[in-house]
Amino acid sequence: MFITSESVTEGHPDKMADQISDAILDEVLRRDPYGRVAVETLLTKNLAVIAGEVTTRHRFDAEKIARKVIKEIGYIDSAYGFDSKTSKVQVFLNQQSPDIAQGVSQYREEKPESVGAGDQGIMYGYATNETPALMPLPIFLAHNLTRRLAEVRKKGILKYLRPDGKAQVTIEYQNGRPRRAHTILISTQHAPEVKHEQIKKDVINKVVGAVLSKKLVDKNTRFLVNPTGRFVIGGPEGDTGLTGRKIIVDTYGGVASHGGGAFSGKDPTKVDRSAAYAARWVAKNIIAAGLADKVQTQVAYAIGIPEPLAVNIDTFGTGKIPDEKLSGVVAEVFDLRPGMIIKNLRLRRPIYRQVAAYGHFGRIDLDLPWEKTDKVGELKRRLK
């Protein structure tokens, strides 16, 4: 069996849009932890459009935030097709609909157990013991490759690289476990004067070689770098970017199910975001407790109602106890009401732009509350 996952760099237009939306969210939460945000960003050649709903007591400059993000990503020259200084930024922000707000606004921190879900929806979490981050190996490697691609660009190790880029990893599995790397694909934007042969050599040596374990590579492993032969036009000049269009990159690389909603640009009252984080928290603790080799958590909500409509656990036949029994224990250990998720994971903090690129889960480089395995002891005690 083969499993393939992809990741994109922070300079990919869709990921640029995610980062701008989440940078606005962070700025609102920094000043007003109870601010409500649902912001979308669209990017095309020399234009960023920011639209959505924001309800907060404080003023902020969305255009200034967007330009700062674009600059930090690396679009600082019009030759790249987008420039943080000269590209146009348009802002269209309104207040949140009172019909939506009434389900979540009537209770604040004094009664978090009564906060209703900000929308209906089904959210999923996943974890597996095949990597130290408890993530599927293909997406774990793809994120590390794109992160390394950005690193060699920003540090000047490969000075001809430009911000846009992608990685795709195909892993061959045997008996449900990773066996070997079948194909490693890297596409990276570059300066026009650099030859394809040089790019391929440098990327394999400086990027792939720094990430991929030699144990996964054999004589049949394929390495593809810029397979069309040229990638000069990239970023918003080459393709329109939009918030929430890389949801499989954000989660588990297609290995697990995904609910209907994206994460970026949404404050934690939106269960699309907070409940997906909580579902990962549950799944990761189950794996860390040694109760299964892989597990998927599904949680369903109705708008305005605190209690989940349903919580389901699927260990794909790898569980050490029946899934039904595990589901009952999860319900006892984890409070999955939206207000309690927000409280227990401390989600009213400005922590979101940092996960808007290179994945929301398995981030061993960050201290994220939903990645903690702080319920392992309690799960084991209740199962004795």
Query: Does 53 count as an annotated binding residue?
Result: yes
Using the predicted structure, report yes or no on whether residue 296 has a pLDDT greater than 90: yes
Question: 64 a known binding residue?
Answer: no
Please state the domain count of the chain. Answer: 3
Per-residue confidence (pLDDT) for residue 81, from 0 to 100 = 80
Q: Indicate whether 80 belongs to any domain.
A: yes
The neighbouring-strand residues paired with 122 are: 300
The reply to whether 156 sits in an annotated binding site is no
Chosen domain end from 189, 210, 235 = 235
Percent of the chain whose pLDDT exceeds 90: 88
Q: Across the strands, what pairs with 54? A: 37
19 is in an annotated binding site: no
Q: Which helix (DSSP H) or strand (DSSP E) does residue 166 occupy?
A: strand 161-174
Q: Does residue 263 share a domain with residue 126?
A: yes
- d(C-alpha 297, C-alpha 294), whole Å: 10
Q: What is the pLDDT of residue 260?
A: 72
Asked whether residue 184 falls in the same domain as residue 249, the answer is no
Does 95 belong to an annotated binding site? no
> What ranges make up the beta strands (E) of 274-384?
294-301, 310-314
* Per-residue confidence band for 38, with pLDDT thresholds at 50, 70 and 90: very high
Q: Is 164 annotated as a binding residue?
A: yes
Residue 92 sits in the same domain as residue 197? no
Residue 246 labelled as part of a binding site: yes
Q: Annotated binding residue at 198?
A: no
* Residue 110 within a domain: no
Is residue 212 domain-shared with residue 278, that is, in the same domain? no
Whether residues 270 and 371 share a domain: the answer is yes
Query: Does 266 count as an annotated binding residue?
Result: yes
- The owner of tokens 């939009």 is 242
Same domain, yes or no, for 141 and 126? no
* 96 appears as a binding residue in the annotation: yes
CB neighbours (10 Å) of residue 92? 10
Are 215 and 259 part of one and the same domain?
no
The single-letter DSSP state of residue 185 is: E
Query: Higher-confidence residue: 320 or 81?
Result: 320
Can you give the pLDDT at residue 70?
97
The answer to whether 166 is a known ligand-binding residue is yes
Pair (179, 231) in one structural domain: yes
**Residues 87 and 23 placed together within one structural domain of the fold:** yes
pLDDT at 97 over 90: no
Rg (CA), the chain: 21
pLDDT at 111: 78
Residues 173 and 273 occupy one common structural domain: no
What DSSP state is assigned to residue 245? S
Residues 353, 248: one domain?
yes
Task: Quote the pLDDT of residue 226.
Answer: 97
Among residues 235, 261, 281, which one ends one of the domains? 235
14 is in an annotated binding site: yes
Tell me whether residue 325 is annotated as binding: no
Nearest of 382, 278, 283 to residue 333 by alpha carbon: 382
The beta strand positions in the chain, using DSSP E, are: 2-8, 36-44, 47-55, 76-77, 82-83, 88-94, 121-128, 161-174, 177-190, 222-225, 241-242, 294-301, 310-314
Q: Could you tell me the pLDDT band of residue 79, with boundaries at 50, 70 and 90?
A: confident
Report whether 61 belongs to an annotated binding site: no
330's tokens: 């999860």
Please enumerate in sequence order all residues whose Cβ is within 8 A of that of 261, keeping only pairs 6 or more positions apart, or say none.
119, 121, 123, 244, 270, 272, 273, 276
Domain with 210 in it: what CATH number? 3.30.300.10
Q: What is the pLDDT of residues 209-223, one digit of tens each?
A: 999 999 999 999 999
What's the CA dihedral at 183, 188, 191, 195 to 10 degrees? Answer: 0
Do 286 and 167 sit in the same domain of this protein? no
Quickly state the pLDDT bin for 351 (edges 50, 70, 90).
very high
**pTM for this predicted structure:** 0.94
Domain that holds residue 178: 2-8+137-235
In a domain, 113, yes or no: no
Q: How far apart are CA 170 and CA 263, in angstroms?
A: 25
Amino acid, res. 196: H
Residue 107: which pLDDT band, with cuts at 50, 70 and 90?
very low
